[in-house]
Amino acid sequence: MKDAQVYKANALVEASYRLSLYEQRVVLACIAQVRRDEPLTDQKLYRISAQEIADMSGTQIGTAYQNLKSASERLFERRVTLHTAPNGGGKTKVLLTRWVQTVEYDEGEGAVSLRFGTDMVPYLSQLTEQFTRYALADIAKMTSAHAVRLYETLAQWRGAGERVVSIDWLRDAFQLENRYPNIRDFKRWVIEPAVAQINEHSPLWVQWDQRKTGRRVSHLVFTFGDKTTKKPKASSKQKRPSKTENSLQGALFGIPRAIIEQNAKPGESYDDAALRLLNESKRKRAST
């Protein structure tokens, strides 16, 4: 599975669901097999073996065998809640569906085959806009399901270098329900380990901070970039950027980051939102 790429509609990246680490590995390894040059149907079976999982994640083959069957069985029951249609289709009725409709486990070969659910197909195939792409190897060595989800959330806005998310949205997307109600526990058991693993195993470096609404911590601010670029050093002596400098950081097509973030639609990536705003501006100028 060398050089395998994962393509997901942004609506699926932002969907509400919970998968264990091994369930994530199985699903993503199968998504990475979806061909970009042909339509996906709900009759196609995708196969992944324990050996491939072990090679991909750097785990022992015995551990991979042990977890593959139980993960595939649980996967059949897993649900996902989607709020946006694929390919920039805008908001849709809340769609509650399943990841897969069929799971086959071959005990003799230690392999599982799955068939994606009918409703999932448009979010994985024939994606022409508003999708996120990353290498399967980016998340293969991670040992936290939260780290995988957070990495996808940041990869969606990779061109921006910063993403602000509300804690309420993050809790819903990760389906944490009543777990970690205390913000300290949430940061200690969810955010801090996820950021540490992204920094250790992925091509991105990540820093984060928090924002308050009143006295309550309401949002998290993630600053990130490719490790091939220089990571900024935090310094209390650094000159505080002006409002003009702040507005130009992350600008795309000459559109300030703040404007892009303010006008981005649900499911849009940073680049998609900037391109749409640019085209809208051109149409307005042409009509005047």
Residues 172 and 14 sit within 8 Å (Cβ to Cβ): no
Q: Which two tokens stand for residue 98?
A: 């399943």
| pLDDT at residue 259, rounded to an integer | 73
Q: Is residue 119 part of a domain?
A: yes
Predicted confidence (pLDDT) per residue in 13-22, tens digit = 999 999 999 9
Tell whether the model's pLDDT for residue 267 goes beyond 70: no
Domain range holding 124? 1-141
| pLDDT at residue 247, rounded to an integer | 43
Tell whether the model's pLDDT for residue 248 goes beyond 90: no
Q: Is residue 269 part of a domain?
A: no
261 — pLDDT class (breaks 50, 70, 90): low
Strand 216-226: give its sheet, edge to edge: 162-166, 216-226, 204-213
Q: Is residue 30 part of a domain?
A: yes
| pLDDT at residue 223, rounded to an integer | 95
Question: How many C-beta neighbours within 10 Å does residue 274 have?
Answer: 25
Q: At what angle do helices 50-57 and 21-31 cross, to 10 degrees?
A: 100
Percentage of the chain modeled with pLDDT above 70: 82
pTM of full prediction above 0.85? no
Average pLDDT over residues 270-276: 67
Look-up of token digits 């051109």: 282
Q: Is residue 77 part of a domain?
A: yes
Tell whether the model's pLDDT for residue 279 goes beyond 80: no
Q: Is residue 187 part of a domain?
A: no
Predicted confidence (pLDDT) per residue in 68-86, tens digit = 988 988 999 999 999 887 7
Residues 98 and 118 sit within 8 Å (Cβ to Cβ): no
CATH code for the domain of 23: 1.10.10.10
Predicted confidence (pLDDT) per residue in 175-200, tens digit = 998 899 999 999 999 999 999 999 99
Backbone angles phi, psi at 243, to 5 degrees: -60, -35
Predicted confidence (pLDDT) per residue in 120-137, tens digit = 999 998 888 889 999 999
The pLDDT mean for the chain works out to: 85
CA 18, 24, 26, 31 dihedral sign is positive
Greatest Cα pair distance in the chain: 70
Predicted confidence (pLDDT) per residue in 217-226, tens digit = 999 999 999 9
Q: Is residue 179 part of a domain?
A: no
Which 3 state secondary structure label does DSSP give 170? helix
The domain tally of the chain equals 1
Q: Which two tokens stand for residue 238?
A: 């650094």
